[in-house]
Amino acid sequence: DAGVTQSPTHLIKTRGQHVTLRCSPISGHKSVSWYQQVLGQGPQFIFQYYEKEERGRGNFPDRFSARQFPNYSSELNVNALLLGDSALYLCASALPPVANEQFFGPGTRLTVL
Amino acid sequence: AQSVTQPDIHITVSEGASLELRCNYSYGATPYLFWYVQSPGQGLQLLLKYFSGDTLVQGIKGFEAEFKRSQSSFNLRKPSVHWSDAAEYFCAVGGETNAGKSTFGDGTTLTVKP
């Protein structure tokens, strides 16, 4: 079975632009979480979606938004990009009720110039 | 608020030597604890997890970890390190009420000397 997939692998944007990152969970998984990993730090929780509803949000500005589709895939959107948004964005899927056992994708490396 | 501290930013061990990576957590309820490994440019791979029961848990690649509630610790150990173990290791804490949300430490980079 395929693992969690993310696209694109790498992305370069300039300040002020908008970006959309995509994630496909493992087949059968209904929970998707997004994390931001800045170089030299651990992943930081951004959002969690379960059954297409937001179930948790980390300490991120409103420029960050996400949604989950009927097939449980998910998009993370970031508006008005800042240099500090440069990071590896990780998606994780889980099969509730043991939703804390997450499976991570390879991530999308976003560089903001 | 939950938090994780990994006191050692960087550890160097010789191949074949034993390894212990430290992790301290803060969590108001029964914690779910995890260790992940990340190779450069890669996502996170789960090494092991603790939810309840036996406080010594076995994981993949010969790793084990011991949960000590009194010390709020969940240290990762391996009796004999291989060169392929060189990577970054992250400890994380979650909880049943925070399904799909985990708090990570800032990681420990492991270098293995030949």
Q: What pLDDT was estimated at residue B1?
A: 78
Which comes out higher in pLDDT, residue B41 or A20? Answer: A20
**Band of the pLDDT at A91, cuts 50, 70, 90?**
very high
Mean pLDDT across B57-78: 95
Strands (E), chain A: 5-7, 10-13, 19-24, 31-37, 44-50, 53-57, 64-68, 74-78, 87-94, 103-104, 108-112
The CATH code of the domain that includes A105 is 2.60.40.10
Is B1's Cβ below 8 Å from some Cβ in A? no
Q: What pLDDT was estimated at residue A100?
A: 63
Distance CA B21, CA B43 (A): 20
**What mean pLDDT, rounded, does chain B reach?**
91
Q: Are residues A90 and B105, on separate chains, in Cβ contact within 8 Å?
A: no
Per-residue pLDDT of A15-71, as tens digits, reads 999 999 999 999 989 899 999 999 989 999 999 998 889 988 999 999 999 999 999
Residue of A nearest to B104 (CA): A42
* Residue B79, Ramachandran bin (φ over 0: left; ψ between -120 and 50: alpha; else beta): alpha
Q: Which domains does chain B have, with CATH numbers?
A: 3-113 (2.60.40.10)
Mean pLDDT across B23-42: 88
Q: What pLDDT was estimated at residue B98?
A: 58
pLDDT of A99 over the 80 cut: no
Instruction: Among A40, A90, A100, select the one facing B43 at the smallest CB separation.
Output: A90
Residue of B nearest to A94 (CA): B100
Which A positions 38-67 lie with beta carbon below 8 A of chain B? 40-45, 48, 50, 55-56, 58
Give the CA dihedral B99, B9, B6, B91, nearest 10 degrees.
30
- Give A32 to chain B, closest Cα distance, Å: 7
**Band of the pLDDT at B94, cuts 50, 70, 90?**
confident
Instruction: Among B101, B104, B107, select the one facing A56 at the smallest CB separation.
Output: B101
Q: What pLDDT was estimated at residue A14?
A: 97
Domain that holds residue A43: 5-112
Residues of B in contact with A31 (CB under 8 A): 99-100
Distance CA B29, CA A39 (A): 30
pLDDT of B99 over the 60 cut: no
Instruction: Among B43, B102, B106, select the one facing A100 at the smallest CB separation.
Output: B102
Mean pLDDT across A95-106: 77
Residue B96 phi, psi dihedral angles, 5° rounding: -60, -30
pLDDT of A108 over the 70 cut: yes
Residue of A nearest to B33 (CA): A100
Distance CA B82, CA B17 (A): 9
The proportion of chain B whose per-residue pLDDT surpasses 90, expressed as a percent, equals 76
Number of domains in chain A: 1
Is B45's Cβ below 8 Å from some Cβ in A? yes
Q: What pLDDT was estimated at residue B97?
A: 55
